[in-house]
Amino acid sequence: MARVLHLYDDRTTPAAAAVLSELRAGRPGDLLARVGGATRADLPPTQAVLRPMWGWRLTAAPEIRRFARRHRIDVIHAWSPSAAEAAAATDVPTLLSVAAAPAARQWSALGAAVAEGAALVATSLPLAGHLAGRLVAATPVEVVAPAFRHHPVDPVEVRRHLGLPADGTVVFAPPQTLDDRGPVWAMWAVGILRTMGFNAHLLAGGPAAALAAVQRFARSSRTDDRLHTIGGTPAWLGWAAADLAVLAGDRGQSATAVAQAVANAVPVIAVDTGETGALIEHERTGWLVAADPPRRRPQALASAILRLAEHRDLAAALAEQAGRTHPQFMDVGGAARRWDALYASAIDTTPAKEPVA
């Protein structure tokens, strides 16, 4: 088995962090390193901290190369474009995982990483096509569907542990990027339901940076009594407690959130755009609401939450059909084998190059 170094930094998205955490659970021999100082990524304890990446090639690349040599690393698996840009400048084969649609400011680092020889890996075919369309040099983009284990726990006990009401509808809105507005849209919808007298509560998880916007919105709209956050708590606890998931981000969220919902049999309400719009079939594997016009989105989300909360049989049928349609999201062993094959291929096909001094 290839010896892999996983690199992340403060630009690693919650979606990528979720995939990384699940992957490392099945690969205990891999190393995990943070590049830079404090990070906003929600990840388990790190085994090493490498030099801050100011001037990628001049400082970070040599440090990464020395660490890789010292620990006899075969492949570097980067979990953000900036980490990959530095890692790819070394003489170690490098993969870059992209788990959510990149923000505008990330494309420069993505292009630089690809130019240095990093191989791109996306979480779905729609995202792979998006990357290939913007980065011609990156084609073909490999695809590894994220897969997650189901944790057989009692939802009532989980809710009690998280301080959630036992009699309300719990809506989970996991942020997929650090600037994801999806939880804000979901909070708006829960606020609408509150004025209607419906007992719905929003549960949001992830790093503090990704939760700040929804916390501000809840305070300003005086709906903070309906917001619950779980911060660094393992994401699967949020999924175990949820009645519904709302994926309402403007960039179409991520296949990662859909995969986690499928693995935990949670019905999904999503905005019809990006990866979620491509992966979910309306009224068959989930419930889609129109992305435009944005002013109508909160009411549309509120109506969808109310519909599925009041028709539990329909919600359960959507989750069941989603599991039948997307079995890859539960095939943890298959995902592990796919990663093993990509690591082996990277070792075999990466041409030798002059390492950074």
pLDDT in tens, 230-248: 876 778 899 999 999 999 9
Section 191-205 average pLDDT:
95
Whether the pLDDT of residue 218 is over 50: the answer is yes
Helices 332-349, 14-25: crossing angle, 10 deg rounding:
100
Q: Are strands 200-204 and 169-172 parallel, antiparallel or unpaired?
A: parallel
Domain assignment of residue 355, yes or no: no
Output 40 or 250, whichever has higher pLDDT.
Answer: 250
Whether the pLDDT of residue 302 is over 80: the answer is yes
Domain match, 116 and 59 both: yes
The angle at the Cα of 26, spanning 30 to 328, to the nearest 5 degrees, equals 125
Tokens of 55: 């001037």
State residue 250's pLDDT score.
Answer: 75
Domain match, 261 and 118 both: no
Domain match, 181 and 319 both: yes
Whether the pLDDT of residue 213 is over 70: the answer is yes
Q: Which residues pair with 34 in a beta bridge?
A: 8, 49
Whether the pLDDT of residue 43 is over 70: the answer is no
Output 25 or 60, whichever has higher pLDDT.
Answer: 25
Those residues whose C-beta lies under 8 Å from the C-beta of residue 109, and which sit 6 or more positions away, are: 80, 81, 82, 84, 85
Section 157-175 average pLDDT:
92
For the chain, the domain total comes to: 2
Domain assignment of residue 354, yes or no: no
Q: Is-contact 255 275, C-beta < 8 A?
A: yes
Domain match, 103 and 11 both: yes
* Alpha carbon 96 to chain centroid, angstroms: 14
Whether the pLDDT of residue 59 is over 90: the answer is no
State residue 53's pLDDT score.
Answer: 47
Q: Determine the 3-state secondary structure of 133 from DSSP.
A: helix
Domain match, 132 and 210 both: no
- pLDDT tens digits, 147-156: 999 988 999 9
Section 43-55 average pLDDT:
59
Domain assignment of residue 18, yes or no: yes
Domain assignment of residue 88, yes or no: yes
Domain match, 189 and 264 both: yes
Please name the helix (run of DSSP H) or strand (run of DSSP E) that holds residue 297, with its range, or none: helix 297-310
Domain holding 314, by residue range, is 155-330
State residue 353's pLDDT score.
Answer: 52
Per DSSP, the residues of 55-73 read SIIIIIHHHHHHHHHHTT-
Domain assignment of residue 356, yes or no: no
Between CA 312 and CA 328 the distance in angstroms is 25
Q: Which of 295, 274, 277 minimizes the C-alpha distance to 286?
A: 277
Domain match, 139 and 196 both: no
Q: Which of 292, 284, 249, 291 minimizes the C-alpha distance to 267?
A: 284
State residue 38's pLDDT score.
Answer: 56
State residue 351's pLDDT score.
Answer: 59
Domain match, 134 and 218 both: no
Those residues whose C-beta lies under 8 Å from the C-beta of residue 145, and which sit 6 or more positions away, are: 123, 124, 255, 259, 326, 328, 329, 331, 335
Domain assignment of residue 229, yes or no: yes
Lowest-confidence region among 13-27, 31-45, 70-84:
31-45
Q: Which of 118, 69, 64, 113 minimizes the C-alpha distance to 93?
A: 118
Domain match, 159 and 71 both: no
Domain assignment of residue 324, yes or no: yes
State residue 57's pLDDT score.
Answer: 47
Domain CATH for 57: 3.40.50.2000
Domain match, 210 and 290 both: yes
Domain match, 79 and 168 both: no
Domain assignment of residue 309, yes or no: yes
Between CA 280 and CA 325 the distance in angstroms is 10
Section 75-104 average pLDDT:
91
Give residue for tokens 């690591």: 343
State residue 35's pLDDT score.
Answer: 82
Of the chain, the percentage scoring pLDDT greater than 90 comes to 57
Structure confidence at residue 337 as a pLDDT band (50, 70, 90): very high
Q: Is-contact 77 6, C-beta < 8 A?
A: yes
Domain match, 83 and 113 both: yes
State residue 268's pLDDT score.
Answer: 97
Tokens of 23: 């992957």
